[in-house]
Amino acid sequence: MGKTIIIGAGGQIGTELTLALRNQYTKDQIIAADIKDNAPELIQDGPYIQLDILNREAVRSYIIDNQIETVYLLAALLSATAEKNPDFAWKLNMEGLFTILDLAKEGHVKKIFWPSSIAVFGPTTPADNTPQHTVMEPSTVYGISKQAGERWCEYYYNKFGVDVRSIRYPGLISYKSPPGGGTTDYAVDIFYKAKATGKFTCFLSKDTALPMMFMDDAIRATIQLMDAPADRLRIRSAYNLGGISFTPEEIASSIKKHLPAFEITYEPDFRQAIADSWPNSIDDSYAQQDWDWKLGFDMERMTREMLENIH
Ligand code: NAD
Ligand code: AKB
């Protein structure tokens, strides 16, 4: 395997993806890149470069000069942050993607991973067991950018043969690196507050069901999709990935089994409208059929893992 770069390696997914890829290949092959001055501590044992994905020429030179074959492009503004700065969110989420797609079109890059999200769906989408192909009318700037990104990925695959692969991640839950400004962040924060204070005020209402997934499963899915033979992949926009579906009340009950004194209260804010526009649960049968996807962590196993590892 040639060299791989992870752009946005300093974030919630990037940190754990860098760790996992460095375990699978040799450390020197996996280059972490981010706009931050320094790599997070967890990934300081391998190559790191400070890179702004919006600096098209710098990104092009680095990738061409270093003969990078695979790019994981993770840099983006997430749903809640994007609503506060829609112009910049659109710029960041789209321009970086075109820079990488064009490098692949010109033959410099062989394979791309670019993540999409359940945010591509909107209020008119069937909310339960949302199918792969369905109505998609996202109502957030983040969702619009992800849906447009998916369309461009499929276009570059069909027109220019670019090997780009993508997953519509649900909300991701992890303890190694904090989340970066999404609507599903409450499902991480709740564990930290439960351990620290025994109390949590949730910014979503108690019965808001959303699809979520433990990070280990998301990383495994990502690597599995990237390793899958190209001729098995029917989807070149982005694959649905289901995970576990739960409400704040349900995750609080799961935590209470371990910490009986834990208390949750609810103060919904602007993120409630975003969550209300997203599906409750996702059908990921295409991922199961095309690259043998199987979920590993249910709610009980994820709760135990989070509570044991947060100190
Ligand atoms: P994050 O916010 O934790 O990390 C993003 C990283 O990108 C940060 O380290 C940030 O410093 C970096 N970055 C920002 N601007 C940059 C720039 N101009 N140049 C280079 N780096 C820059 O986000 P995440 O949760 O790790 O998400 C990664 C990707 O996965 C995003 O595209 C996101 O939309 C997608 N996604 C995430 C989730 C989730 O629950 N975490 C769910 C669905 C999709
Ligand atoms: C967010 O809440 O913005 C992300 C996502 C589901 O894309 N976690």
The string of pLDDT tens digits covering residues 116-167 is 999 999 999 999 999 999 999 999 999 999 999 999 999 999 999 999 999 9
C-beta separation of 151 from 103 below 8 A? no
Ligand 1 lining (C-beta closer than 6 Å): 7-8, 10-14, 34-36, 51-54, 74-76, 78, 92, 115, 117, 169, 171-172, 179-180, 182, 184
What's the rounded mean pLDDT across residues 91-106?
Answer: 98
Q: What spacing in Å lies between the alpha carbon of 256 and ligand 1's midpoint?
A: 31
Q: What is the CA radius of gyration of the chain?
A: 19
The 10s digit of each residue's pLDDT in 48-94 is 999 999 999 999 999 999 999 999 999 999 999 999 999 999 999 99
| pLDDT given at position 227 | 97
User: Using 50, 70 and 90 to split pLDDT, how confident is the model at 1?
Assistant: confident
State the average pLDDT for the chain: 98
C-beta separation of 57 from 99 below 8 A? no
- Which atom of ligand 2 approaches the CA of 146 most closely? 7
Q: What spacing in Å lies between the alpha carbon of 153 and ligand 2's midpoint?
A: 20
Of the ligands numbered here, which is closest to the C-alpha atom of 213?
A: 1
DSSP, collapsed to helix, strand or coil, labels residue 105 as: helix
- Which atom of ligand 2 approaches the CA of 184 most closely? 2
225-246 residues labelled b (16+ CB within 10 A) or e (exposed):
bbebeeeebebbbbbbbbbbbb
Domains of the chain: 4-170+213-240 (3.40.50.720), 171-212+243-281+297-309 (3.90.25.10)
d(CA 267, CA 26): 47
pTM value is: 0.98
DSSP, collapsed to helix, strand or coil, labels residue 49 as: strand
Q: What spacing in Å lies between the alpha carbon of 240 and ligand 2's midpoint?
A: 14
C-beta separation of 98 from 146 below 8 A? no
For residue 23, give both structure tokens. Answer: 């375990």
Q: What spacing in Å lies between the alpha carbon of 2 and ligand 2's midpoint?
A: 31
Statement: residue 170 has pLDDT above 90: yes
Question: Could you count the other beta carbons within 10 Å of the beta carbon of residue 197?
Answer: 10
d(CA 186, CA 203): 7
d(CA 45, CA 42): 8
Given 48, 142, 175, 239, which residue is catalytic?
142
| Ligand 2 near 78 CB (within 6 A) | yes
* Catalytic (active site) residue 155: no
